[in-house]
């Protein structure tokens, strides 16, 4: 995992992570987590591939084998679900490489490029 330190976070830091299934190229995930001392980690954003279906249970919305972005919401946290259960369909990315780039851009992470992250994490994209 790539650890990101922010000056504004007291007793905490962010982790940018990624995983890729070796068999199914559509089975991938990358995200941004907040790690705080003595508290549960919070996944703030998670970019998933199209390898599985997802249901937003509170909205009764179904995402059928499409790339989707999980977003931390107070509504889901207060309803007893994982804070990042809610997801929206996305056509911004189609593979792990483009998902990581979107995540870095959307999270407004400076001084970290896709190639820096790939080098640090040991990924290789063909």
DSSP 80: T
* Paired sense of beta strands 12-20 and 2-4, if any: antiparallel
User: How confident is the model over 45-60, as a mean pLDDT?
Assistant: 98
Instruction: With CA atoms as reference, report the closest residue to 30 among 111, 117, 116, 124.
Output: 117
Which structure tokens are listed for 37?
A: 């001392």
Give per-residue pLDDT as tens, 65-109. Answer: 999 999 999 999 999 999 999 999 999 999 999 999 999 899 887
Check residue 95 and give its pLDDT.
96
DSSP three-state, residue 84: coil
Which structure tokens are listed for 3?
A: 């650890």
In sequence order, the 6+-apart residues with CB closer than 8 A to the CB of 10 are none
Neighbours of 71 (CB within 10 A): 16
* Domain ranges across the chain: 2-121
Alpha carbon 34 to chain centroid, angstroms:
11
Check residue 38 and give its pLDDT.
87
pLDDT exceeds cutoff 90 at 122: no
């Amino acid at each position: 995992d790539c650890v990101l330190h922010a000056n504004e976070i007291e007793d905490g830091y962010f982790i940018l992570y990624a995983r890729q299934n070796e068999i199914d190229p559509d089975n991938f995930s990358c995200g941004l987590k907040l790690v705080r001392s003595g508290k549960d980690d919070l996944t703030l954003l998670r970019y998933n591939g199209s390898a599985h279906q997802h249901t937003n249970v509170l909205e009764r919305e179904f995402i059928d084998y499409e790339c989707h972005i999980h977003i931390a919401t107070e509504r889901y946290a207060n309803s007893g679900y994982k804070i990042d259960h809610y997801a929206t369909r996305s056509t911004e990315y189609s593979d792990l490489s483009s998902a990581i780039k979107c995540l870095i851009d959307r999270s407004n992470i400076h001084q970290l490029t896709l190639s820096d992250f790939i080098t640090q994490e040991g990924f290789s994209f063909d």
